[in-house]
Amino acid sequence: MELDVLQNRDFSSEFKFSTSRSGGPGGQNVNKVSTKVELRFNVIESLLLWADEKEIVLKKLQNKINKEGELVLVSQSERSQLGNKERVIEKFYTLLRKTLTPQKLRKPTKQTKASKEKRLQSKKLNSEKKIRRKSFDSE
């Protein structure tokens, strides 16, 4: 079973939402209704993230964090504001979980003796095939 790095912490009290009109096709709905939802989460001032977690988030998500230290996520794919709000919150938790989950270290492995011999054998066969072609063409 995978250990949840967020340990059921509720960040909703630290979210700031803003809405605006979505771009792209959609006709009157897009032109009249503010369905695009932007979530802002201040990483630096967060009370629910530990200091080491803040460092990791600031380092790994630096492209999504503005100068004020806010993580900015946007959703505009749904037709309703509520749908986009739910989607952006889901996106936030997924991103944070992925960022804070430690990656497994790669254990370097060596090639087996059999795999080395197999590779050398295939190279030898390829070489012989090309040598046969050369001698046939020169006649």
CATH numeric code, 12-100:
3.30.160.20
State pTM to two decimals.
Answer: 0.72
pLDDT truncated to tens, each residue of the chain (139 aa)? 356 777 788 889 999 999 998 877 767 777 788 889 999 999 999 999 999 999 999 999 999 999 999 999 999 988 889 999 999 999 999 999 999 998 899 999 999 999 999 999 999 999 999 998 886 655 5
- Write the secondary structure of 61-116 as one string of H (helix), E (strand) and C (coil): CHHHECCCCEEEEEECCCCCHHHHHHHHHHHHHHHHHHHHCCCCCCCCCCCCHHHH
Q: Could you tell me if 9 and 48 are in contact, meaning their C-beta atoms sit under 8 angstroms apart?
A: yes
**Domains of the chain, residue spans:** 12-100, 112-139
| Angle between the N-to-C axes of helices 51-60 and 81-100, in degrees from 0 to 180, rounded to the nearest 10 | 110
Token pair recorded at residue 138:
């020169």
Cross-sheet strand order for the sheet of 15-20: 15-20, 36-42, 70-75
